[in-house]
Amino acid sequence: MGKGGGCVPSKKRQPPAAAPSSSSAAAAAAPREAPEEEATAAAAAAAPVGAVRKLRLYIVFYSMYGHVESLARRTAVGAGVVEGVEAVLRRVPETLPPEVLEKMQAPAKDPAVPVIASAAELLEADGVLFGFPTRYGAMAAQMKAFFDSTGSLWEEQKLAGKPAGFFVSTGTQGGGQETTAWTAITQLVHHGMLFVPIGYTFGAGMFNMDDIRGGSPYGAGVFAGDGSRRPSETELALAEHQGKYMGSIVKKLGHHV
C-alpha cells in the first residue's frame, strides 16, 4: 500500500520483490549494559577459538504490497558489502486477518524472510534499520504494534546505544517521505537508540531532478503510487547506499565497544 494520508487503499497487486520482562526495581539495580555484555560473553565462549563474530545489522520491516520489501532487500545487499557485517532480514508480525488481506489483494509474504520471533531478538543486533509504509504521515500500525511490544526492553534500556535508521514507502510525493521517519524517531528516543540519517551522503543522486525519486536525508524511500508502480533503480540504489552506510556505522561503533 504505502499510501500517504487520506489515500484510498490500492486494489492493484505489487509483485513480490525479487531475488522476560524484569521488574522496575530489578532494572534499577542492574547495570544497563549487563544484559548485552552477558550475551556477548556467551557468544564468545560458544565461538570457535580464533573466530570473530560478524556484526549484525538487522533489517526489520513491514511490507504489504512489496515496495518496502524491495528496499529492504537492497539495503541488505549494501550492508553485505561492508567487511565484517552481515545483514539479517526480518518481518514484523502481520496484524490484519487473512480475509482482510485477501480483500485488499495483498500478495502472500515470502516465507524465505522469517517473522521476527519477538522484540527480544533485537538484542542480537548491533544496529537496526526499520522499514515501513506510511499511514497519514506516520508508520503503519503493524510496525507500531511491534514497537509497542518492546516495553520490557525499554524498561531496562537494553537497546540503548544501538544505532538505528529508517526507510519508508508513501503513495505520493507529499505523502510523508520525511514525516514518516521524523515521527518514528520518538520510538528510538525512548529506547536511547542512536538515530542515523543518511544526510546527503548519496551525493549527486540526492539532487537529481530528472526522475521521480523517493527518499530523503532521513533515509531511503519509494513512491508506491496506486500500488502498481515498482521502485525505480535510483530508489533501490539509494536503499543499497543506506545499507552500506549503516553497515559502516555499525562497524565503527562495534570497534569501540
Residue 184, domain CATH: 3.40.50.360
Q: Does residue 236 sit within a domain?
A: yes
Residue 84 falls in which region: left (phi positive, over 0), alpha (psi -120 to 50) or beta: left
Q: Does residue 247 sit within a domain?
A: yes
pLDDT at 252: 94
DSSP element (H, E) containing 222: strand 221-223
Q: Does residue 206 sit within a domain?
A: yes
pLDDT at 50: 57
CA distance 170 to 1: 8
Q: Does residue 48 sit within a domain?
A: no
Specify the amino acid at residue 113: V
Q: Give the relative orientation of helices 233-254 and 67-80 as an angle to the nearest 10 degrees.
A: 50
Lowest mean pLDDT across 37-46, 157-166, 173-182? 37-46
Q: Does residue 71 sit within a domain?
A: yes
Domain that holds residue 132: 55-254
Q: Does residue 8 sit within a domain?
A: no
> How many distinct structural domains can be found in the chain?
1
Question: Per-residue pLDDT averaged across 49-68, rounded?
Answer: 88
pLDDT digits (tens, 9 = 90+) for 76-133: 999 999 999 999 999 999 999 999 999 998 999 999 999 999 999 999 999 999 999 9
Q: Does residue 88 sit within a domain?
A: yes
Q: Does residue 246 sit within a domain?
A: yes
CA distance 180 to 71: 16
Between CA 190 and CA 36, with CA 38 as vertex, the angle to 5 degrees is: 20
Lowest mean pLDDT across 19-28, 36-45, 71-80, 161-170? 19-28
